[in-house]
Amino acid sequence: MRPLESDTAFAGSIPQLYERYLVPLIFEPYADDLTARVCLREPSRVLEIAAGTGVVTRRLATALPATVTIVASDLNPPMLEHAAALGTTRPVEWRQADAMQLPFPDASFDAVVCQFGAMFFPDKAHAFSEARRVLRTGGVFIFNVWDRIEENEFADVVTRALETPFAADPPRFLARVPHGYHDASAIARDLARGGFDRSPDFATLAARSRADSAQVPAVAYCQGTPLRGEIEPRGPSCLREATDVATAAIAARFGPDAVDGGIQARVVTIER
């Protein structure tokens, strides 16, 4: 599997590992932030795209009134199935959907929300045009993206550590995709190309990423993301070896026991 093909492969055991390790490690504080921003808008219909295993969905279902319709969608059925199996405090509608071609009528939502999904869109301007299309006039599109990898310490350490065992062709998924779309001018340009005629609001949000051991972030990134798809095809023992190398590097930087690293994201808000 070529790296670019593996970049959106959230299958096999990845959904379970993603939820077990990555959600508490890096996603929860940003899910709380997006939920608070959506709630301030008092929407009646909310669409979530790239919902993953449902960390934002679960918070929206708890925070928004029961009268608010929530539709949670994702391109990858295994991720969506895992999210639906985890459930929510009240009913939501789960839909398999491609952000590049949303299966919803024009002007059918008051808010579209997306947590760390925009980086994966193959044509970002087109995906943004779809978000705009399904928004009602005055509706809001709120999404976040990871900041540069150097501001996200565990991801940076893992990426640098894997340059040693795979010197000829280092796996670069984390730098290329999750941390590859953070420039405000590029994002604003893509939103304009997608038809948004207002200026986006950007907020930079720093947080802390904590785990009980150095192994937790190593497993999270090496085995619970599509980085796995760049590592596994190299040989039967490569995934274990890469995880061990990443664990050692994190322990050397942050200590072998409980670890604490910085994370940072950009939050983008724009009205239709």
Return the domain boundaries, the chain: 3-271
pLDDT higher than threshold 60 for residue 261: yes
Confidence of residue 7 (pLDDT cuts 50, 70, 90): low
Question: What pLDDT is attached to residue 172?
Answer: 97
Residue 126's H or E segment, with its range, is helix 124-134
pLDDT score recorded for residue 6: 59
Span 210-239, mean pLDDT?
Answer: 96
Lowest-pLDDT range of 10-19, 48-57, 216-225? 10-19
Asked if residue 10 lies in contact with residue 226, where contact means CB atoms within 8 angstroms, the answer is yes
> Quick check: 45 pLDDT over 70?
yes
**167-174 long-range contacts, CB within 8 A, separation 24+:** 171/3, 171/227, 171/230, 171/231, 171/242, 172/3, 172/230, 173/3, 173/6, 173/7, 173/225, 173/226, 173/227, 173/229, 173/230, 174/149, 174/221, 174/225, 174/227
**Per-residue pLDDT for 5 more than 90?**
no
Percent of the chain at pLDDT > 90 equals: 94
pLDDT of residue 13: 77
What pLDDT shows up at residue 262? 98
Q: How confident is the model at residue 12 (pLDDT cuts 50, 70, 90)?
A: confident
- Residues 204-217 have a mean pLDDT of 98
If you average pLDDT over residues 248-258, what whole number do you get?
Answer: 95
pLDDT digits (tens, 9 = 90+) for 122-168: 999 999 999 999 999 999 999 999 999 999 999 999 999 999 999 99
Is it the case that residue 60 has pLDDT exceeding 60?
yes
Q: What percent of the chain has pLDDT over 70?
A: 96
Cα Rg of the chain (Å, integer)? 18
CA atoms of 247 and 213, how far apart (whole Å): 9
Per-residue H/E/C for 27-86:
HHHHHHHHHHHHHHCCCCEEEECCCCCCHHHHHHHHHCCCCCEEEEEECCHHHHHHHHHH
pLDDT score, position 24: 96
- What strands lie across the sheet with 109-115, from one edge to the other? 93-96, 69-74, 45-48, 109-115, 135-146, 259-271, 201-211
Helices and strands per DSSP (H, E), number in the chain: 12, 7
Q: Strand 69-74 to strand 109-115: parallel, antiparallel, or no bridges (unpaired)?
A: unpaired
pLDDT range class, residue 3, cuts 50, 70, 90: very low
Mean local confidence (pLDDT), 19-40: 97
Mean pLDDT of 79-87: 95
Q: How far is CA 145 from CA 20, 89, 261, in A?
A: 21, 27, 18
Query: What pLDDT is attached to residue 2?
Result: 41
Phi, then psi, of 109 in degrees rounded to 5: -135, 150
209-235 mean pLDDT: 96
DSSP for residue 102: -
Average pLDDT (107-127) is 98
d(CA 135, CA 270): 11
Q: What is the CATH number of domain 3-271?
A: 3.40.50.150
Mean pLDDT over the full length of the chain: 95
